[in-house]
Amino acid sequence: MKGLYEDRPIRGEGLARRFSNSKRVAIVSIMAVLSVLLPLTLFLSSVVGTPVTSPKHQSCNTVDEGYQCFSGVSHLWGQYSPYFSVDDESSLSDDIPDHCQVTFAQVLSRHGARYPTESKSKKYAKLIKAIQHNATSFTGKYAFLKSYNYTLGADDLTAFGESQMVNSGIKFYQRYEKLAKDIVPFIRASGSDRVIASGEKFIEGFQKAKLGESKTKQDQPAPIVNVIIPETDGFNNTLDHGTCTVFESSEAEDEAEEKFINVFTPSIIERLEKNLPGIKISGKELVYLMDMCSYDTIALTRDGSRISPFCALFTHEEWVQYDYLQSVGKYYGYGAGNSLGPAQGIGFANELIARLTQSPVKDHTSTNTTLDSNPATFPLNAKLYADFSHDNAMTSIYFALGLYNQTKLLSQTSVQSTEETNGYSAAWTVPFAARAYFEMMQCKGEKEPLVRVLVNDRVIPLQGCDADKHGRCKRDDFIEGLSFVTSDGNWAECFA
C-alpha cells in the first residue's frame, strides 16, 4: 500500500541513458536513496501539521493522469477528490483499436474544484473559531489550528479548479483529435456560475491544444457555450435535478450518511477531544474537519502541490472510512439506493440516445421540450458534444444508464471496498472535474457502430446488452437494453 502522502515515483531512466556507465551507476544510486527519503520526508512533514510541497522537478497533476499528488489520501476524498485517472487492475484498455474509427464523442463533465458552498463555508468557519476559542492547548500536529485563519471563499472555482478544466479540454481534444481538428463541439452548461466557468475553461484548453497542432486551424471558429440551462424552480434541466417533487423532498442522503457517521466517528472524536482538551464536537463536525483537508489543499496552490495540515489529523484507515461515507451519500441520495435516484438521469440518457441515433428526443421526464426541439439549441448532426453539470446529476445519469447495475446495495454500517462495490465509489465516479466519455466507433468487419463508456478513463462494461471483450455493445443493442430510460422509468412517482 502506498504511503499516506506518497507522490508518483521519480523516474530517472531517461536521464541516466545520457551518461556513461559509471555516472549511470551514481545517478541510479542517488535516485534509490531519494526514493526512500522523499516519501519519508513528506510523511514526517505531514505529521507535524505543516503543508507539504511536491517535488518541483516533476508535476504530479497532469493532463493525462490528473491529480496524483499525495494519492494515498487525495484519492480518498470522495466527491471532493480532484479528478484522477482511475487505474483499476480489472479495467479494460481505454485505447481506441487501430481498426476502429471514432465517429461520435460526448463528454459529460462535472465542474472543476470549487470553494465550499456558502452554507458549508459558514459552518466550517464557525467550527474552527469554536475550536480556537475552547481548546486549552494546541500541540504537535494540532498546533497549526491555534493560528489558522479561515479565508476560503464560497461556491466559485478555485484557481486549481480552473486549471483542471483547461487540462480537461486539452485531453478531450487529444483523444478525439481526428474528429476535433475539423469540428467545433456543441457545448451546454447547467446554469450555475462555476459550471459555466468550467465550460469556458474547457474551451480554453481545447483551443490551446487545437491551435498548437497547426496554425491553419485558426480560421475555424472557436467553440462557445452554446446553451446555458437555467437552474431555476420549475425549469426542466437534464444537467441538474430539481423538478421531481417527491425526490426533492426526500432526506435519503442525509439519513444514510448519518447512519454511517454514527458508526465511524466516535473513536476519532474521542482522540481529537483528548488531544485538543476543552473542545466538544459532533459526528457531523468531525466530518467538517475532514472536509477541510480537501478544500484547504485545492485552495493553497494552482497546481495542488501542497497538502493541507488538516489532512495529517487523520489516519489512512479513517480516510478510507471518510471516502466510503461520501459514496454512501451519493448512492442513497442519487443512485440505486434511492428508488427515484436513477429517474433524475433519464432525461439526459434520452438526449444521449437522440444524439447517437440522430433522431428527435423521446422523453417525458426532465428534458426541456422547447430547447430539445430546436436544432439551434439541440442539434442532432454534431459529432462532438460537451455538457457540464454537477456530481449529483451525474450520479443519477450513471445509474439511469445502468453503468453500475452490478453494484450491490451499499452497507450503511461497515466499509465495503471498491472490489465489493464493483468499482463504484464517489471518488472514482464524480470527483472535481470528473468526466464520462460516451464514444461511438465504426470498426472494420462490423456493420453496426459500437458504443463504449469511460468514466474517468476507466472503461465501464455496458450492461443490458451483449458487451464484447472490450466492454462495447452494438449501438442498437445498447439502446434496446435501456428500457428503463426509454419507458421514462418510474418518473410518474415523482408527483404521487
pLDDT band at 496 (very low <50, low <70, confident <90, very high): confident
- Cell digits for 323? 471516502
Tell me the pairing of strands 61-62 and 227-229. unpaired
CB 447 within 8 Å of CB 99:
no
**What integer pLDDT is reported at residue 13 of this predicted model?**
31
Q: What angle do CA 255, 407, 425 make, to 5 degrees?
A: 65
The DSSP bridge partners found for residue 307 are 52
Query: pLDDT tens-digit profile of 42-66?
Result: 433 333 333 445 444 478 999 999 9
More confident residue, 40 or 323: 323
pLDDT band at 11 (very low <50, low <70, confident <90, very high): very low
CB 475 within 8 Å of CB 468:
no
Comparing C-alpha atoms, which of 366, 336, 332, 350 is closest to residue 240? 366
How far is Cα 440 from Cα 365, in angstroms, rounded to an integer?
Answer: 25
pLDDT average, residue stretch 278-300: 98
pLDDT average, residue stretch 464-478: 96
**What integer pLDDT is reported at residue 415 of this predicted model?**
96
Q: Identify the residue whose cell numbers are 475552547.
A: 134
pLDDT average, residue stretch 439-461: 96
Question: Which amino acid is located at 115 in the chain?
Answer: Y
pLDDT average, residue stretch 244-259: 96
How far is Cα 378 from Cα 376, in angstroms, rounded to an integer?
Answer: 6
Q: What angle do CA 258, 259, 260 make, to 5 degrees?
A: 95
Residue 228 has phi, psi (to 5 degrees) of -115, 120
More confident residue, 36 or 122: 122
How far is Cα 429 from Cα 91, in angstroms, rounded to an integer?
Answer: 14
Model confidence at 309: pLDDT above 90: yes
Query: pLDDT tens-digit profile of 223-241?
Result: 999 999 999 988 999 999 9
Q: Identify the residue whose cell numbers are 501539521.
A: 49
Neighbour tally for 322: CB within 10 Å: 25
Model confidence at 296: pLDDT above 70: yes
- Choose, from 296, 363, 387, 391, the residue flagged as catalytic: 391
CB 318 within 8 Å of CB 268:
yes
Helix (H, G, I), strand (E, B) or coil at 155: coil
CB 85 within 8 Å of CB 66:
yes
pLDDT average, residue stretch 77-97: 91
Contacts of 326 (CB under 8 A, 6+ apart): 77, 78, 79, 80, 426, 427
Contacts of 78 (CB under 8 A, 6+ apart): 322, 323, 325, 326, 327, 329, 330, 425, 426, 427, 431
Distances from the Cα of 177 to the Cαs of 211, 223, 379, 388, 433, in angstroms? 12, 15, 21, 20, 21
Report the run of H or E that residue 455 belongs to, with start and end: strand 450-455
Comparing C-alpha atoms, which of 235, 259, 289 is closest to residue 413? 259
**What integer pLDDT is reported at residue 218 of this predicted model?**
63
pLDDT average, residue stretch 157-179: 98
How far is Cα 375 from Cα 280, in angstroms, rounded to an integer?
Answer: 58
**Backbone region of residue 451 per phi and psi (left: phi > 0; alpha: psi in -120 to 50; beta: other values):** beta
Q: Identify the residue whose cell numbers are 445509474.
A: 399
Lowest mean pLDDT among 127-141, 218-232, 253-267: 218-232
- Choose, from 7, 75, 111, 387, the residue flagged as catalytic: 111
Distances from the Cα of 441 to the Cαs of 336, 381, 469, 470, in angstroms? 29, 16, 15, 12
Distances from the Cα of 20 to the Cαs of 10, 16, 17, 87, 276, in angstroms? 20, 8, 8, 35, 56
DSSP state of 456: T
pLDDT band at 213 (very low <50, low <70, confident <90, very high): low
Q: Is 391 an annotated catalytic residue?
A: yes
Neighbour tally for 211: CB within 10 Å: 15
How far is Cα 335 from Cα 454, in angstroms, rounded to an integer?
Answer: 18
**What integer pLDDT is reported at residue 91 of this predicted model?**
78
Query: pLDDT tens-digit profile of 367-407?
Result: 999 999 999 999 999 999 999 999 999 999 999 999 999 99
**Average per-residue pLDDT for the chain:** 89
Contacts of 153 (CB under 8 A, 6+ apart): 115, 121
Query: Which domains, from first to last, does the chain contain?
Result: 61-116+158-243+325-493 (3.40.50.1240), 118-154+252-317 (no CATH)
How far is Cα 162 from Cα 205, in angstroms, rounded to an integer?
Answer: 10
**What integer pLDDT is reported at residue 90 of this predicted model?**
72
DSSP string, 458-481: EE---SSS---TTS-EEHHHHHHT
**What integer pLDDT is reported at residue 47 of this predicted model?**
35
The pTM of the full predicted model, rounded to 2 decimals, is 0.89
How far is Cα 130 from Cα 338, in angstroms, rounded to an integer?
Answer: 36
pLDDT average, residue stretch 89-117: 94
Lowest mean pLDDT among 293-297, 391-395, 466-470: 466-470
